[in-house]
Structure 1
């Protein structure tokens, strides 16, 4: 990716002032953020990598100063021929070299930090470029899992890193990433080098840039899918990686893509949400949502384009980014997200400005040729699923013989496009456990199960669970037994104990309150399978601070940890949802002390059970029907008591 990204000095001005290339990974001068001018002249926005004729189309977004091996002409997204065992985009020589160079750069930066040459203030922007945060007690390393897709080989490497560099576990997040909470700074470059060997990295998992592009965790397998969103997520990933124009945005930027009728990617609480659809002619395109987000100002995204043709994906997204980069606030980080810009100028005005910019870009090299889309899509072709009709008879027999297995199938297995198969949710929410955590032993075992029974493919869900997207019904009993052996057989997907929780005050320096102990106590209180079945679908989400990493705003029941007079309190919201009918939860009243919050949840649940029309009416529907008042009265006795501070 050129002289700058490769760690070599860029323009003569920067070299004369002694700026080292490894400290300028995004290609910007430190002088007013101005783009420096590299020594080489490759100026096109996109250029193609020279590849052998036998390979498929090859294309990448180049950067100014891109190195040898490029040819002039129309750009392409990079892709090579997909071998049968591949389930995702595979690195080429360029990718391997670039990621290895980034590891080498970071190794040098870490050595300079440890030697005292770099202060923590100077080191901070460099470590953030490589996914390293400073938590309450130690550094944390966040690993990108693009669109939530992993191979067994990659999962085994995550287990190796957990075992070798951490304390034997990892934490899966709501944005399809993995976090290691205890690695030593001195060993992080070695961990990143090991991850690079299986085509993984931590680039752009932090900082004011375009973050990991996320997607529906059932992509490519769901029965309600219009089109697989992962090829488009990969195109966006390649386009946005170390993009020199968008590496220093006003604030972090998150994109999500879904291609199904049900929104399992929470696109309306992202900066850009893309919903794949077909027009009247059967052509693929996108509904484009902009300006969603949570945090201290939760807002639902606005639809600014009902149908964007597939070929315009990059040019239109670039137009959005340019409008935001130009007009997004940089004077106040709490008002710097694009959601605030949309709120202040209005969705219509934002759409108008985007269209003006789009008119300048739509006929440029950013237009996506159909051949390139098809070439990338080849990486995500579904596996050849053999007929397994015997699965139905076997499944019925096993369910009859084992009620626990029957309960697991009912709750954790969803219908597949192919009726002989199912999509398996591996719950990382054992009763009384820490939401989203998996040990190295569990990760290794899941890799083995996926390799044997799920075509070597694993997904990470937005609910902090794992997914096996293609499992034959005939193999479900064997998969279940394998999960029982490692303690991951909990049958609670979508139920009250399937709790989303951020790390909270146990780890995070920003948190006001603990999330994990509260999640554990609620899980234990409602752990009975019979109790969970009685309650039905109910999503609890917990955040330890206003940044809302636990997505409490879109929980059916949301808990926000706050600090008041030195004490931890939990504010409750009701009625939130992150699906195709996204809504922000309503604050129900004053907060609860840690030892009273689980009792409050039980009061809410009991109130719901008494109000619902019948067992088929889930909590969210009942709340939307009756409103907050019955719950306020049950919790506080009167509205005035609810409002008391």
Structure 2
């Protein structure tokens, strides 16, 4: 993993000192809240519905065990004993006192962490495939490129005050596990016919009130041109993006208004004439790539007798292996998803005790590293198959072994109206009730892969637009109502969901989801046809009929 050099350490320490002074002036009344707002946002501090919130950056979702322990310590000392992992691979603390925020940032700096550029109109935390470096289907590890982009974009003098926030995601496999087509810039690591590394480039994706799937602007960008080309995209956006209306300020709107082909032409022209010196020297790429060298895996047989024996005796363990363990590139190892979605729990939350345990298990079983996924789960990427029974037992004792990764109860949900000042409806209670309705048993396993995503407002922090079933909470004359979309996807076949029709009340929305699932089970071509495939085959009509035909008062 990447380690701070002297510049990084000095840079973060100076920023903490600056923010301590700014916070002191706010607490003394020298700065008003409006004057302080820009300073706190640049350091990841939000003013939420009930309290301040601190969002901590976890670049490309990678944590060392010492860093996870520090997050646990912060949750215990400065918050209410837990943290919330987000869809941008960050962690949020929902209840810190403003006076304590500089101390929290100071503690984070001791383990090479910070909260810089987790907010504001800048290039935000660069995200990546949470299986990076371990996935069997990977072309190349995307994390070195994410780190290069992080270093380049941090407090970039030209891009700290963009028209609007800007998000970049990188994946290293044909299977997109980073939702790259729903980002301002999405990068897929590929090889050309000669075997050289480069990138497929997407521009103009994004969700929120105007959801759009990114436009492919390059089939192959040579590795050395990464920064120069990304710089060209951001320069075009910075020069031409709208600043008169924040709702129309994202690059997706520029691409829409300008046109996809003219946007490509503008980027290519800017790339051709852009600033010199941004070409990546091969030696620098190799230097950073060395930080992400694979750990020293032992030679192991591809099959584990210990796992086979436990599977036969323990159905829940068998379900865990089937759903939560992915294929590793090294024989005898697996990639383990630790679900933060216990049945009836709050998606993405982890207690301080759970974070400490995961850090211990990372040291014991996965070379001291933890990943955060955009799906609000944790991942141990390098677990020997023979260690799975012991790992499972430790997770189960802490309520972290729910066998539901990718299933109907592995729900993405934003904090919603329980925390967020922008929300118009609650997300968490809906997620909890859906989870309780379907459980973790044979029914959930039979349903198979089904991604439910819930947002508490049109800003779409819960990614509902790209959920197989997407749920959007809205306020209708003082009542919470929930619109449902079907057929969205955030993978390499990215698509936006289709609206089913009129929304559902808080009381009715869980029944509506169950109705949709039952309809799918009744029409699928066989147990191997997942929800998304079935929906794309049959379309909206049978689902709409099932949802609305029993209520003559609804308009279809």
Q: TM-score range by the shorter chain?
A: over 0.9
Q: CA deviation at 1:361?
A: 2.9
Pair 1:344 & 2:257 matched = yes
| Alpha-carbon distance, 1:632 to partner | 0.7
Deviations, residues 272-297 of structure 1 (Å, cap 9, x unaligned): 00011000110000011000000000
Taking the TM superposition and a 5 Å limit, the aligned residue runs for 1:566-645 are: 566-637=478-549, 643=555
Q: Does the alignment pair 1:300 with 2:219?
A: no
For structure 1, which segment, 88-97 or 583-592, has the greater mean C-alpha deviation from structure 2 after superposition? Answer: 88-97
2:405 to 493, 501, 513: 493
Indicate conservation of the 8 Å contact 1:554/1:584, yes or no. Answer: yes
Alignment of 1:473-484 (within 5 A): 473-484=385-396
Residue 46 (structure 2) aligns with: 133
Cα distance in structure 2, aligned partners of 1:324 and 1:419? 45
Distance in 1 between residues matched to 2:303 and 2:92, nearest whole Å:
37
Task: Report what 1:94 is aligned to.
Answer: 7
Q: Distance in 2 between matches of 1:347 and 1:158?
A: 42
**What are the equivalent positions in structure 2 for 1:363-402 lying under 5 Å apart?**
364-389=276-301, 392-402=304-314
Tell me which residue corresponds to 1:472. Answer: 384
Q: Which gives a bigger RCO, structure 1 or 2 (Cα 8 Å, sep 6+)?
A: 2
CA distance in 2, matches of 1:501, 1:229: 26
Q: 1:301 to 1:643 in 2, by over 3 A?
A: farther
Answer whether contact 1:290 1:301 (CA < 8 A) is retained.
Answer: yes
The answer on 1:452 being equivalent to 2:358 is no
Aligned position for 2:333: 421
CA radius of gyration, larger in: 1
* Displacement after TM superposition at 1:389 (Å): 2.3
Q: CA deviation at 1:390?
A: 8.2
Check whether the contact 1:391–1:475 (CA below 8 A) recurs between aligned residues.
Answer: no
Kept after mapping to 1: 8 A contact 2:168/2:185 = yes
CA distance in 1, matches of 2:52, 2:237: 31
TM-score by length of 2: 0.99
8 Å Cα contact 1:633/1:639 also seen in 2 = no
Is 2:75–2:82's contact at 8 Å kept on the other side of the alignment?
yes
Distance 1:515 1:502 in 2: 6
598 and 280 in structure 1: CA distance in 2 versus 1, 3 angstrom threshold? same
Cα distance in 2 for residues equivalent to 1:566 and 1:368: 54
Displacement of 1:388 in angstroms is 2.5
CA distance in 2, matches of 1:354, 1:640: 52
Q: How far apart are the structure 2 equivalents of 1:93 and 1:391?
A: 45
**Count of residues in Structure 1 that have an aligned counterpart in Structure 2:** 556
Q: CA deviation at 1:184?
A: 0.2
Instruction: Name the SS of the counterpart of 1:205 in structure 2.
Output: coil
What TM-score does the superposition give when structure 1 sets the normalisation length? Answer: 0.85
In the alignment, which residue of structure 2 is the partner of 1:527? Answer: 439
In the alignment, structure 1 residue 257 sits paired with structure 2 residue 170? yes
| Distance in structure 2 (CA, Å) of the matches to 1:395 and 1:546 | 44
CA distance in 2, matches of 1:590, 1:111: 49
**Structure 1 segments of 4 or more deviating over 2 A?**
388-391, 638-644
| Whole-angstrom CA distance in 2 between matches of 1:455 and 1:623 | 41
- Which residue of 98, 111, 116 maps to 1:203? 116
- Deviation (angstroms), 1:638: 8.1
Cα offsets for 1:101-132 (capped at 9, x unmatched): 11111111111001100000000000000001
**Contact 2:409-2:440 at 8 Å conserved across structures:** no
**Partner Cα distance (1:209, 1:629) in 2:** 42
| Residue 161 (1) aligns with residue 74 (2) | yes
8 Å Cα contact 1:142/1:205 also seen in 2:
yes
Match of 1:184 in 2: 97
* C-alpha distance in 2 between matches for 1:305 and 1:403: 47
Q: Distance in 1 between matches of 2:330 and 2:220?
A: 29
Aligned to 2:22: 109
Please tell me whether the aligned partners of residues 72 and 356 of structure 2 are also in contact (alpha carbons under 8 angstroms): yes
State the secondary structure of the residue aligned to 1:571. Answer: strand
Q: Note if contact 2:132-2:143 (Cα within 8 Å) is conserved in structure 1.
A: yes
**Residues 105 and 590 of structure 1: CA distance in aligned 2, closer, same or farther (over 3 Å):** same
Asked whether the 8 Å contact 1:139–1:184 carries over to 2, the reply is yes
Kept after mapping to 1: 8 A contact 2:403/2:440: no
Contact 1:569 1:592 in 2 (8 A): yes
Distance apart, 1:391 and its partner CA: 5.7
Report the equivalent of 1:335. Answer: 248
SS at the partner of 2:66?
A: helix
Q: 3-state SS of the aligned residue for 1:245?
A: coil
Q: 1:222 aligns with which of 135, 143, 167?
A: 135
Give the Cα–Cα distance (whole angstroms) in 2 for the partners of residues 286 and 316 of structure 1: 11
Distance across 2 between alignment mates of 1:202 and 1:214: 15
Shift of 1:399: 1.1
Q: Does 1:502 align with 2:406?
A: no
Q: Secondary structure at the match of 2:221?
A: strand
| Contact 2:228–2:279 (CA under 8 A) maintained in structure 1 | yes
Structure 1 Cα separation of the partners of residues 398 and 550 of structure 2: 47
SS in structure 2 of the partner of residue 246 of structure 1: coil
Contact 2:433 2:510 in 1 (8 A): yes
Q: Deviations over 1:376-432 (max 9, x none)?
A: 000001101001328611111111121111111111000100120000000000000
In 2, distance between residues paired with 1:475 and 1:453? 7
**Counterparts of 2:455 and 2:520, CA distance in 1:** 23
